[in-house]
Amino acid sequence: MVVYYLIAGIYALLAILFLIAVNVDYADSRMRVLRGLVPDDSIPSLIAEEYFMDEQYQAARRVTYLERKKRMGFGAFLVKYIAHIPGAMSREHLLLSFFIRQMPTFSRMKRAAVIALQAHLFMLMSSMMMNVLENQRPDGYYEILYCRVAADNAWDSTESTALVSDNPPCAATMPLAFISAAIAFPFFRFFCYRQVRMCCFGHQHHWTTAEFPVNVRKFGYIAPATAKEAAFSMKNKYEMNVDRVRGSRTSVHRLVEFLYKTTEPRMCNVGFYSSGVSWCIVIGLSSFAICSGSYTLSYVAYFSDAVVFHWLTSMWMQMVATAFFFEPLYIVLSETVWASLIHSTAQAFGFGPFALSATLQYRDVVRQVENFFFKVLRVLAAIRVERWWRAVLDMYRGVHEQTKSAIKIQSRRKQQLAQKKYAVDRQWCLRITLRHCEGLEKVSLEGAMNPFLRIHCDPKEGNPEVIETKVCWAGDSNPVFEEQFHIDIKMVNGFYIEAWSKDNTNEQFIGEFIGRGYVEIKGALTKGIGMRSLSSGPLLTRLYDLNIGEVAKPDMKVRGAVFSVVSLLDPLTENDNIKLLAEVEAVEIRLG
């Protein structure tokens, strides 16, 4: 039963690891969208993001003219590359990168899968090792560090130590696990780590979301293979030139080129397999994990508790040795010693940024190449990018101006249609008598308020007229107006009553806003239905902090009340009275 509990605990830890990976990947995706680093989560965008985030690519882009003039040897390369160890550890170390580094092309979900495969590999190797030892030495025992070997004869009583001994039958668990980890590390690094990292289950092309796609002329272009070349596996002109140049080199030169490429970051390192190949890899590795777990349950379940303890010790020793010894040792040696040795040797064969300084007799050639080739190329590229960007801006400016003109024409046309409809369809006259207000909310900090009222229909309904009452000076919260107005309206739903407080210190300032209420007259314009309730007595309109078009909610605070009398006059029956009232108002306006 101990074996089942241990394996269940291991799988529980792996489940927690996968849960952490899913949540962290989701958080990284959201942060990527918020920061706006890349336009989307497509594979080309993720590769571009990693290219600009990775230290090794940044170092390759920052090699300047002054650095190229330096003559670099093995010691200088070693000192330079020692500074790259922290970045390489956070980038290449599996367990460390899972917790501290974001890699867009190597998500934490993939890294969690690699850790799970590593656990199954060590579980399988520990099970096989313990199974072999149990079959060969059924009466033997296990030690943690070393086994004591008894003397061979009576003349020599000195005891010695060994990893595996027959006298008595014994096996040292931790040293054997360390050796197993050393054997399994290359297999794990290539067949698990690299293959899972290069898996991809989605499309690897980039979709464009531009509303106005622009064709950009490329600076360099390699012609694809023709149909004849593809059918007969023929080489195109570019490939023939590459083979011709490589054929002129010696075999030592080719060997140095191959070794130099093993130390340089390349874009193929962030390439991916196709979807079919990726699924085959996932199925194969999943089958390996299932077989490992089945083998472990089939054999380790019959071991005694002491043997199970040493089996667990062997498995964890392999994981600790790989994570804290073999992986750091591999990264340090490959990033410092191996890279320094290869780069110092490759300089003499023309490879690397310091090859010109190491091989040419006249160092001024480096400056001439920089000034007469690379500088001109950068200027040309900048000019082309600038022209392209100007063309894009001109195109968007033209589209914006056309859209703006179309919007102005449509808005003006709508206003004309509304005014014309209002002039043709108006049939009613609304008489409003504003009596007084009660309980207006204080908006003035000093002294009493000077309130006045404003009346207007909704401008969207075709009547933009705004009518104001006289200012009730020092009227404070309960002003009295007793003013009457006539408004020409069409088929409208209602009108707004606003209360303001006049500022006597600033004539240009309209005043402080107190509140706004809405008087609904919907249905009153069809044969006068509903106007009896409006014209029978004073109409109470409560004021709220509303915008025009907004509906009052039950939880809004009442900021005052306006008492008015509203009646509807039919021009067909009361035409003479309406004309008389209009003439009287015109005379009052002229006299005033």
Domain count for the chain: 3
Instruction: Look up tokens 């690891």; give the residue.
Output: 17
- Asked if residue 215 is part of any domain, the answer here is no
pLDDT (0 to 100) of residue 112: 92
> 3-class DSSP state for residue 201?
coil
| Residue 219 forms part of a structural domain | no
If you search the block for the tokens 């379940």, which residue do you land on?
301
- Whether the Cβ atoms of residue 515 and residue 541 lie closer than 8 Å to each other: no
Q: In what order do the strands lie in the sheet with 561-569?
A: 480-489, 428-438, 561-569, 539-542
| Run of H or E residues at 161 | strand 160-162
462 shares a domain with 379: no
Does 225 map to a domain?
A: no
Q: Are residues 137 and 282 in the same domain?
A: yes
At residue 253, the pLDDT reads 84
**Angstrom distance (rounded) from CA 315 to CA 180:** 10
CA distance 360 to 350: 10
Token pair belonging to 45 = 């965008």
Phi/psi at 419 (nearest 5 deg)?
A: -65, -40
Say whether both 332 and 383 belong to one domain: no
Structure tokens, 546: 């509303």
Q: Return the half-sphere exposure (C-beta side, CA atoms, 13 A cut-off) of residue 72.
A: 27
| pLDDT tens readout for residues 475-489 | 888 899 989 887 766
Average per-residue pLDDT in the chain? 78
**Residue 134, both tokens:** 């149990």
| Lateral strand order in the sheet of 466-468 | 466-468, 451-457, 494-501, 512-520
**Based on the domain organization, do 315 and 383 belong to the same domain?**
no
Using an 8 Å Cβ cutoff, are 296 and 7 in contact? yes
Q: pLDDT by residue for the chain (592 residues), tens digit each?
A: 677 888 888 899 999 999 999 999 888 888 777 766 555 566 766 776 776 666 666 666 566 666 666 677 888 889 888 888 888 888 888 899 899 888 888 889 999 999 999 999 999 998 898 888 888 888 888 888 888 877 665 555 566 778 888 777 888 889 899 999 999 998 888 888 888 888 887 766 655 444 444 444 444 445 566 777 667 767 767 778 878 887 888 888 888 888 888 887 655 556 678 888 889 999 999 999 999 988 888 888 888 888 888 888 999 999 999 999 999 999 999 889 998 898 888 887 777 766 666 555 545 666 777 778 888 888 888 888 888 888 888 888 888 888 888 888 888 888 888 766 655 555 557 788 888 899 888 887 777 888 999 987 766 665 667 888 998 888 888 899 989 887 766 556 678 889 988 877 766 677 888 898 888 776 555 444 444 445 556 788 889 988 887 888 888 888 899 998 887 775 545 554 544 444 444 434 333 4
Q: Are both 495 and 420 inside the same structural domain?
A: no
Over 349-367, what HEC string results? HCCCCCHHHHHCCCCHHHH
CATH number at residue 443: 2.60.40.150
- Distances in whole angstroms, Cα of residue 244 to Cα of each of 248, 249, 258, 349, 389: 6, 9, 17, 17, 39
Find the helix or strand (DSSP H, E) in which 506 lies: none
CA atoms of 243 and 70, how far apart (whole Å): 32
Q: Which structural domain range is residue 283 located in?
A: 2-152+159-204+237-359
144 within a domain of the structure (yes/no) = yes
- Co-location of 120 and 267 in the same domain: yes
Which of 359, 374, 394 terminates a domain? The answer is: 359
Query: How would you label 290-319 residue by residue, b for 16+ Cβ within 10 Å and e otherwise?
Result: eebbebbeebbeebeeebbbbbbbbbbbbb
Q: Which run of H or E residues covers position 200?
A: none
Please tell me the distance from the alpha carbon of residue 576 to that of residue 359, in angstroms, as a whole number: 110
- How many residues would you count in the chain? 592
Q: How many whole angstroms separate alpha carbon 164 and alpha carbon 170? A: 6
Is 232 inside a domain boundary? no
Domain boundary among 425, 442, 475: 425
SS3 state at 435: strand
CB 59 within 8 A of CB 345: no
